[in-house]
Amino acid sequence: MILTPHAWAHGGHTVARTDQGRVVFVRHADVGEQVRVRLTEHQPEAKFWRGDAVEVLTGSEHRREHHPWAAADAVLCASDGAQPVGGAELGHLSVSRQRQIKTQVLHELLGGIGGLRPEELEDLQPIVTSLPYEDPLGLQWRTRAHFAVNDDGVIAMHPHRSDHLVAVDDFPLMVPALRNLNLAQADLRGVVRVDVAAPSGEAGPLVLVTPPSAGDADLPERLQAGLVSHLQSVSPEASLVLGPAEGVRGEPAVLMRRGHTQERVGDLTWTVSAGGFWQIHRQAPSTLLPRISQAAGLEPGQTVLDLYSGAGLFTAALAQTVGESGRVVAVEGSPVTSADAAATFAELPHVDVERGEVERSLARIWPERVRAPRGRHGARSQGTQGSGGTRRRRSGSELRSSGNGKRPAVASPDVVVLDPPRAGAGKAVVDAIHALQPQRVVYLSCDPATLARDLARFRHHGWQIRSISGLDMYPNTHHLETLVTLTR
């Protein structure tokens, strides 16, 4: 059908209506364009339909002449009878237009779900800006990426909301070190997923391959004969790691060089294991560190709580600011990433690394302030660890320190820094943070919708938003990063 979108919605969709008034979420279009739409979801009883713009009848002034990635170009793919892959859903528009759209979406979500009045948004003026040294086309920024592998052993990606696999020969959003791996030319039969990482340190990229859940006893030998040889020819400094089977816990096997990357910002370094979390934009760590430090406004001797702390990117800067007379408590649920952080800060006795779900961890450390979450049968949970942690009781005074010995009981934090996943913090965690009564909260979000929801909860408790700024850390996609500072 032919449609003319009239608005943008979060998630990379424009919004259009049929002549009968049915809402259709259209990808790969812009507001005001007249486009031919191929419906991808159109159940008669559905409240709305979905579709892709496959022909542009009247184009936007912001539409690029050429999409930077053919595999994600809906119009080009339609001419070949194929579906576009996800991963660059705004690539048909100029980078400046993309940031206009993200700023608009951020405003609408903050004013809708977040409940901010127009005059409040006017005062805060949240604008999405680029990171330093950005590529003019928004390419070559990803230092991390993952691919599925099809039955022919070729790297592949999924179209939007589809289980179908489309083989790809490149991914131009990746930094050159990852593109130069030429994984599309490698034989990956027997593998279901490939993760790649390019460290900021001097070592070469790391490739992590995941076998299917059934396992394959001959896979390591085949990888040695095929993939190792391929990597040695295209990137001699690369590392190769064979992870545990899909859905199975286990130790990875290093088949080539090392099982981790070394990350560096200034004089700070971090070790990140294969599969561990690290910011994916090449400029994100160096951009975020000073911004988080400034927003936190910490002084020597203060206590700061770093939630969803990952490998400790912000933990390191916060620890430098508060000094040995202060204290940093870092909470991370991933066993792999938490172990990385514990190793990184092992020689800093004023840094405590706590592994577990955030709400449960806060209830263990400050039981007098934070209520423990209920278990499956309604009983209060007593120290059970989330995300693969050990099951043991531990009071706040027994909080595990990354240094030697045990630390005394932890004072309530002066500042809380949190960087949750796209699901956001949620009601329980926001309520727990409020119960701790810090002076300031610094919230870094990768999803404006869940951020708006959480900010509404903070405001319900009487918190005030002091600043909001957006960062286009994911060019050519609909994703954005938002940094918010709140005070009581």
Active site residues: 446
Contact 168, 85 (CB under 8 A): yes
With a CB cutoff of 8 Å and minimum separation 6, the contacts of 249 are 388
Amino acid at residue number 247: G
- The dihedral region occupied by 388, where left means phi > 0, alpha psi between -120 and 50, and beta the remainder, is left
**Sole residue written with tokens 């070394």:** 262
3-state class of 440 per DSSP?
strand
How far apart CA 422 and CA 395 sit, in angstroms, is 30
- CA nearest neighbour of 361 among 433, 447, 459: 433
Amino acid at residue number 414: D
How far apart CA 157 and CA 185 sit, in angstroms, is 15
How far apart CA 26 and CA 21 sit, in angstroms, is 15
How far apart CA 279 and CA 256 sit, in angstroms, is 24
How far apart CA 25 and CA 30 sit, in angstroms, is 11
Is 419 assigned a ligand-binding role in the annotation?
yes
Give 474's DSSP letter.
Answer: S
Is 308 assigned a ligand-binding role in the annotation?
yes
Rounded to 5 degrees, what are φ and ψ at 175? Answer: -65, 160
Handedness of CA 429, 284, 243, 86 (dihedral sign): positive
DSSP line for 151-196 = TTS-EEEPBTT----EE-S--TTB-HHHHTT-GGGS--TT-SEEEE
How far apart CA 467 and CA 445 sit, in angstroms, is 13
How far apart CA 303 and CA 399 sit, in angstroms, is 14
How far apart CA 108 and CA 110 sit, in angstroms, is 6
Instruction: Give CA torsion, residues 141, 146, 147, 148, to 10 deg.
Output: -160
Is 279 assigned a ligand-binding role in the annotation?
yes
- In 3-state terms, the chain is what percent helix, strand and coil (to 5)? 25, 25, 50
Q: Exposed, middle or buried, 19 (CB in 10 Å: 0-12/13-18/19+)?
A: exposed
Residue stretches of the annotated binding site for S-adenosyl-L-methionine = 279, 308, 332, 419
